[in-house]
Every structure is written in structure tokens, then in C-alpha cells.
């Protein structure tokens, strides 16, 4: 389940790569992560080596400062703190000299050499992406479109596994049981796409209706002001009383009619009308 969630959200973040404003920065970040995989492998191997050395030499020291060297896990975490230059002087009894030499060597190798090596890798990637990032962004947009174009052209039900975006694509997992049957897959995927379509657009409909209702007080008072300019006191009072009494309900009716019209537009493919 955790792997499924991670893959779903990674797919969600991949949509950033087709947004022109942030695609270049997103591709730069992904390239940095990819280029640092080999470095991370070297770093982990080095930390594992140093962990065994520190744990072997200092696990039996009778000192409170040596408690973190009692196990490999806590030793590994301690060395990561050294790597991040988060360290302090420790009282290691008779092992003070050897401990000082080892952790200074570790800090020099990890914090100075390896850390700057990592910065150099990231700087190189950034400089390359500054020059070629726009081209890579356009290239990925093309790949993204061609990848989903075939699924958009299909109508056999299996496109449901590709077209539904995360995190809602988790719901499409239920269609795995229908995958062996093409007829069942096509039938149930059509129902699911309709349900998903309305789940997606219900917020648009509610927002549209709320937006229309927000304008009603302004329209109500503006129309009342225009009525006050009508000639004749009797007509003015009659129309004004009628508008103030029934104007809000009329505007509400107009809002509902406009909302139904929006729903009709959304239903054009299904020929479903909401009159």
C-alpha cells in the first residue's frame, strides 16, 4: 500500500514537468537526484565502513559519551551527525587520542571532501540545466503527450488505468479483477469514468453556483436603484416593492437555471439534460 501511494504521488509530481513555469526547475531537481545516486552509494559504503570501525573500537569504553557506539545503528547515526558537522568533544577515557584522530579524519573526509564533491556534482548539473533546461522541458512535454496519446485514443476500458490522475487512480485498482474480460472492463470502466467525471466537476458546479449567488446582493440593490429613476411615484413604489419582495427569489431562480445550463454543457456527450 505504501509503495502504491508513493508511485501515485510521484506520478502526480510528474505533471509539474509539463507546466512551462516550473518544468525546467523540476527537471533540474530530478537530474540532480539521478546524478547523485552513484555518490550516495559511495557515501553509504564509506559510512558503513567507518561505522564498523567506530563500533568495534569504542563500544566497550566505560563512558556516557560512548553510549552511541554500543550498536551499529546508533553508531551509523552518530557518524551522519559528524558528516553534517554536528559534533562535540567526547570524554572517551583512555581512548581520547584515538577517538579524536578517527573522528577528525572522518570529518575531513566526509564533511570537507565528500560534501564538496556533492556540491560540485549539483553545481555541474545546475550549470548544464541552465543552458539546456528549456530544450529538456520541451522534450519531456513531447514524451508526456505521446505517452498518453494512445490511451486517449483507446476506448476498450483499459485506458482507465492510465487516464485517472493520482491520488484518485488508487480507485482504479478495483478494475484489476475485470481485466481478463474485455466486455466487463469496457462496461464498468464507462460507469467509473462517468462517476469520476461528476466527482471532478461537482466542485466546479458548486463553485459556479456560489459565485452567482455572491453577485445577487449587488444586482438586487443596483436594480432597486435603477427603479428609483422611473417616472411616476406610483410606478416607482409599485415596481420597487415588487422587486424587493420577489427580486431575490427571481435571482435565485436565474442562478439555478444558469447552473442547469452549465450541467447541460457538461452532459453534451451523454445527451443528459437538467431542465
Average confidence (pLDDT) over 41-55: 91
Exposure string (b/e) for 58-72, b if CB count within 10 Å is 16 or more?
bbebebeebebbeee
**Per-residue confidence band for 273, with pLDDT thresholds at 50, 70 and 90:** very low
* Per-residue cell: 24: 525546467
Say yes or no: 248 and 137 in one domain: no
Cα–Cα distance, 26 to 15 (Å, whole number): 10
Say yes or no: 140 and 35 in one domain: yes
DSSP-derived secondary structure letter, 269: T
Could you list the residue range(s) of the whole structural domain that residue 82 is in?
A: 16-153
Across 210-214, 234-238, 257-261, 271-275, least confident range: 271-275
Residue after which a domain boundary falls, among 122, 153, 184? 153
pLDDT at 107 over 80: yes
- CA atoms within 13 Å, Cβ hemisphere of 253: 5
Q: What is the pLDDT of residue 271?
A: 43
Q: What is the pLDDT of residue 189?
A: 73
Mean pLDDT of the chain: 81
Residue after which a domain boundary falls, among 120, 153, 186? 153
Say yes or no: 134 and 188 in one domain: no
| Any domain includes 117 | yes
Of 97, 101, 92, which is closest to residue 65 (Cα–Cα)?
92
Say yes or no: 125 and 180 in one domain: no
Say yes or no: 217 and 112 in one domain: no
Number of domains comprising the chain: 2
Say yes or no: 183 and 147 in one domain: no
| Any domain includes 167 | no
| Any domain includes 22 | yes
Say yes or no: 90 and 57 in one domain: yes
Say yes or no: 140 and 40 in one domain: yes
Q: Tens digit of pLDDT for each residue in 122-167?
A: 999 888 888 888 888 888 878 877 777 776 666 776 666 666 666 6
pTM: 0.52
| Any domain includes 10 | no
Q: Is the alpha carbon torsion for 145, 147, 150, 152 positive or negative? A: negative
Amino acid at each position: 500500500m505504501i509503495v502504491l501511494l508513493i508511485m501515485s504521488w510521484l506520478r502526480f509530481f510528474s505533471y509539474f514537468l509539463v507546466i512551462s513555469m516550473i518544468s525546467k526547475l523540476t527537471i533540474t531537481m530530478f537530474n540532480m537526484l539521478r546524478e547523485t545516486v552513484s555518490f550516495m552509494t559511495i557515501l553509504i559504503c564509506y559510512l558503513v565502513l567507518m561505522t564498523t570501525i567506530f563500533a568495534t573500537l569504542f563500544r566497550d569504553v566505560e563512558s556516557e559519551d560512548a553510549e552511541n557506539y554500543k550498536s551499529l545503528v546508533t553508531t551509523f547515526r552518530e557518524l551522519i551527525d559528524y558528516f553534517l558537522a554536528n559534533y562535540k568533544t567526547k570524554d572517551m577515557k583512555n581512548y581520547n587520542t584515538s577517538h579524536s584522530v578517527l573522528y577528525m579524519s572522518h570529518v575531513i573526509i566526509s564533511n570537507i571532501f565528500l560534501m564538496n564533491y556533492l556540491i560540485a556534482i549539483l553545481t555541474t548539473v545546475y550549470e548544464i540545466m541552465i543552458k539546456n533546461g528549456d530544450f529538456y522541458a520541451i522534450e519531456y512535454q513531447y514524451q508526456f503527450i505521446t505517452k498518453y496519446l494512445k490511451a486517449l485514443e483507446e476506448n476498450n476500458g483499459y485506458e482507465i488505468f492510465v487516464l485517472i490522475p493520482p491520488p484518485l487512480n488508487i480507485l482504479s485498482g478495483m478494475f484489476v479483477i475485470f481485466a481478463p474480460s474485455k466486455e466487463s472492463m469496457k462496461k464498468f470502466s464507462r460507469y467509473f469514468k462517468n462517476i469520476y467525471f461528476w466527482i471532478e466537476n461537482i466542485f466546479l458546479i458548486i463553485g459556479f453556483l456560489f459565485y452567482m449567488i455572491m453577485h445577487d446582493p449587488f444586482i438586487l440593490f443596483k436594480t432597486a436603484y435603477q427603479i428609483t429613476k422611473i417616472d411616476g411615484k406610483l410606478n416607482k413604489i409599485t415596481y420597487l416593492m415588487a422587486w424587493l419582495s420577489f427580486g431575490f427569489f427571481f435571482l435565485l431562480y436565474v442562478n439555478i437555471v444558469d447552473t442547469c445550463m452549465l450541467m447541460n454543457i457538461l452532459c453534451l456527450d451523454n445527451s443528459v439534460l437538467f431542465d
